[in-house]
Amino acid sequence: MKMDEILSVDGMSLQTAAAIVGVGFITLFLFIRYFNGSKKTSSALPPPPEIPGLPLLGNLLQLKEKKPHRTFTKWAEKYGPVYSIRTGSTKLVVLNSNDVAKEAMVTRFSSISTRKLSNAIKVLTYDKNIVALTDYGEHHRTVKRHILTSTLGPNAQRRHQIHRDTLLENVLKELQAYQQEKPLEAVNFRKVFQDQLFGLSLKEVLGNDVESVYVEDLKTTFSREEIFEILVIDPMKGAIEVDWRDFFPYLKWIPNKTFENTVQQMYVRRQAVMTALIKEQRKRISNGKQTNCYLDYLLEEGNSLTEQQILMLLWEAIIESSDTTLVTTEWAMYELAKDPVRQDHLYREIKTVCGSDEVSEKKLSQLPYLMAVFHESLRKHSPAPIVPPRYVHEDTQIGGYHIPAGTEIAINIYGCNMDKNVWESPEDWKPERFLDEKYEAMDLHKTMAFGAGKRLCAGALQAMLISCTAIGRLVQKFEWSLRDGEEENVDTFGLTTHRLHPLQAVIKPRN
């Protein structure tokens, strides 16, 4: 399928386009009249408050800095936890507190179980063909079962423990070598950790790490770094590419070539590289070397899936494994390096519990402060600050407001985690808040960071196992401090809350 088929953009002459633009604007005028006149609903419940915006554009200009979770949170302080905004012609209801977010994700889920995607994400996910973005239903249940059984569920995670152990060994070895060679220089933690996480994802998903791949369709050999760029970095950038037609869907027939070419190129390269990687592994399988990985599992069990669906599911697991766990671990190490007192508290806990043994997954339940560091980093720096928008397909209600069919819902996880009514001094990073006995030590869902209900994150266990053991081992082995000036580097970019600048920390071996 080509991108224009997915977006249904037709080629047409300029005259035709001009004529339709005329009709488009008349339709738009009628639409605005209708929209402004349709505030009253037939329900006894009121509509949510509206954030004032401009005619036609709605609140678009107020969101142009590309960090909508922060703007949404500011608006919540003035307008309350539920309000509506307009992005062009689309009405979006934004939810900013745990109560209303849970109501939407759990109690009212049956009326809000589909998604409406931006044009970029529609293309990059081959029109919802990944677990995270497919509409709820039989297919979603099947593919979620596949990823949990083969890769992310508790049994699968036990089988994959060897990959997590190797990841940590390699990270520590690399840091140690760097420290010995350049003891006074800051280390780029992201570079080391990201590379190993990517390796783990390739082993879990394809059965093997790779150094390079020859891509027949593009007649090029790509290095591992380039493969990472094509499978992970580019699609993350692509997912936030703005196509103005997202905001004015009735004008979708007008071409937007710059956008289309950018996203199409990402799609084609990703498709070609994934095809080549899968082809190599199929050779391995045909030589009788089956292994415990997602690909081998899907080829056995996924009979109802097409080749393209299998490719998309494999790619999804690679990109999801490579990104959010890094984001959380990098922020946790930043906060610890900035706060020597809390770092020391953690080190002392580890020393008391583990003695001369290394921090291991088995020990996590005895390390409450380590778990609290993980949850507090997830709370303050939620890697997915806004849940991919949900779509209301039948009239419903949330927080005592009437929400008509056709509305989009944005769940602002960042806003939930910064809610002053729930969290004392939410801007402060204070792991102690999770030591309160109201929290179960090993409960993964102390915050909304992994979502809730039937669309709960499938990778939460893996993220916790990798991130917590890594933080523990990193603090057990080294004393961390920030490079001069690093404290100010707190800006983020992209779809997840990636630090804009990779963490630069000075590490000193502990005796």
> In whole angstroms, what separates CA 310 from the centre of its chain?
20
The terminus-to-terminus CA distance of the chain in angstroms comes to: 59
Q: Does 417 bind ligand HEM (CB under 6 A)?
A: no
Q: Which of 383, 389, 399, 502 binds ligand HEM (CB under 6 A)?
A: 383
CB closer to ligand HEM out of 104 and 350: 104
Beta carbon of residue 165, minimum distance to ligand HEM (angstroms, whole number)? 17
Q: Quick one: 457 or 475, whose CB is closer to ligand HEM? A: 457
Among 131, 206, 336, 350, binds ligand HEM (CB under 6 A): 131
Which one of the spans 17-25, 162-170, 183-191, 458-466 is the region binding ligand HEM (CB under 6 A)?
458-466
Binding pattern to ligand HEM, positions 461-480, x when CB under 6 A?
Answer: -xx-----------------
* Residue nearer to ligand HEM on the CB measure, 147 or 305: 147
Residue closer to ligand HEM by CB (options 256, 467) is: 467
A 10 A CB-CB count for 290 gives 13
When the beta carbons of 7 and 317 are compared against ligand HEM, the nearer one is 317
Could you say whether residue 385 binds ligand HEM (CB under 6 A)?
Answer: no
Q: How many helices (H) and strands (E) does the chain have?
A: 18, 14
Is 354 annotated in a binding site? The answer is no
Q: Does 132 interact with ligand HEM (rule: CB under 6 A)? A: yes
* Site for ligand HEM contains 305 (CB under 6 A): no
The single-letter code of the amino acid at 200 is L
- Residue owning tokens 């959380």: 328
DSSP conformation letters of 27-58: HHHHHHHHHHHT-S-SSSSPPPPB---BTTTB
Q: Scanning residues 153 to 212, which ones bind ligand HEM (CB under 6 A)?
A: none
Q: How would DSSP label each residue in 226-274? A: HHHIIIIIHHHHHTT---GGGT-GGGTTS--HHHHHHHHHHHHHHHHHH
Per-residue contact string for residues 322-361; x = within reach of ligand HEM by CB under 6 A: --xx--x---------------------------------
Name the one range near ligand HEM by CB under 6 A: 179-187, 334-342, 444-452, 474-482. 444-452
Type of residue found at 242: V
Q: Which is nearer to ligand HEM, 268 or 465 (CB)?
A: 465
Please say which residue, 120 or 147, places its beta carbon nearer to ligand HEM.
147
Distance CA 479, CA 475 (A): 6
Nearest to 484 by CA among 337, 343, 342: 337
Two structure tokens written together for 158: 């036990």
Please tell me the count of residues contacting ligand HEM according to CB under 6 A.
25
Using CB under 6 A, pick the residue from 68, 389, 415, 459 that binds ligand HEM: 459
Q: Are 500 and 331 in contact (CB under 8 A)?
A: no
| H or E segment to which residue 203 belongs | helix 189-206
Burial 306-321 (b: 16+ CB within 10 A, else e): eeebbbbbbbbbbbbb
CB 107, min distance to ligand HEM, A: 14
Q: Which is nearer to ligand HEM, 190 or 245 (CB)?
A: 190
Q: Tell me if 62 contacts ligand HEM by CB under 6 A.
A: no
- What count of other Cβ atoms lies within 10 Å of the Cβ of residue 389? 18
Burial of 17 (0-12, 13-18, 19+ CB in 10 A): middle
Can you tell me whether residue 4 is helix, strand or coil? helix
Longest dimension (CA), the chain: 78
Using CB under 6 A, which of 272, 387, 444, 507 touches ligand HEM? 387
User: Applying CB under 6 A, does 125 fall inside the site for ligand HEM?
Assistant: no
Distance from the Cα of residue 291 to its chain's centroid: 28
The nearer residue to ligand HEM, 163 or 245, going by C-beta atoms, is 163
Is residue 152 at the binding interface for ligand HEM, with CB under 6 A as the rule? yes
DSSP 186: P
Q: Is 455 in the site for ligand HEM (CB under 6 A)?
A: yes
Spatial separation of the C-alpha atoms in residues 362 and 364, rounded to whole Å? 6
From residue 12, alpha-carbon distances to 18, 27, 212, 248, 491 in Å are 10, 20, 42, 19, 43
Among 147, 230, 313, 471, binds ligand HEM (CB under 6 A): 147
| Min dist. Cβ of residue 95 to ligand HEM (A) | 11
Q: In the structure encoding, which two tokens stand for residue 194, read together?
A: 């990201």
Among 48, 199, 235, 388, binds ligand HEM (CB under 6 A): 388
Tell which phi-psi region holds residue 358, choosing left (phi > 0), alpha (psi between -120 and 50) or beta.
beta
Query: Which position's Cβ is nearest ligand HEM?
Result: 459
Q: Taking the complex as a whole, how short is the minimal distance between the CB of residue 321 and ligand HEM, in angstroms? A: 4
Closest approach of Cβ 456 to ligand HEM, in Å? 6
**What's the closest the beta carbon of residue 499 comes to ligand HEM, in angstroms?**
14
Among the listed residues 47, 451, 472, 502, the single contact to ligand HEM using CB under 6 A: 451
Q: Strands 82-87 and 212-215: what pairing? A: unpaired
Cβ atoms of 151 and 204 within 8 Å: the answer is yes
- Whether the Cβ atoms of residue 471 and residue 336 lie closer than 8 Å to each other: yes
The reply on whether position 458 binds ligand HEM by CB under 6 A is yes
Residue numbers belonging to the annotated binding site: 457
- From the annotation, which residues make up the binding site for heme? 457
- Sites of contact with ligand HEM (CB under 6 A): 105, 131-132, 144, 147, 152, 317, 320-321, 324-325, 328, 383-384, 387-388, 449-451, 455, 457-459, 462-463
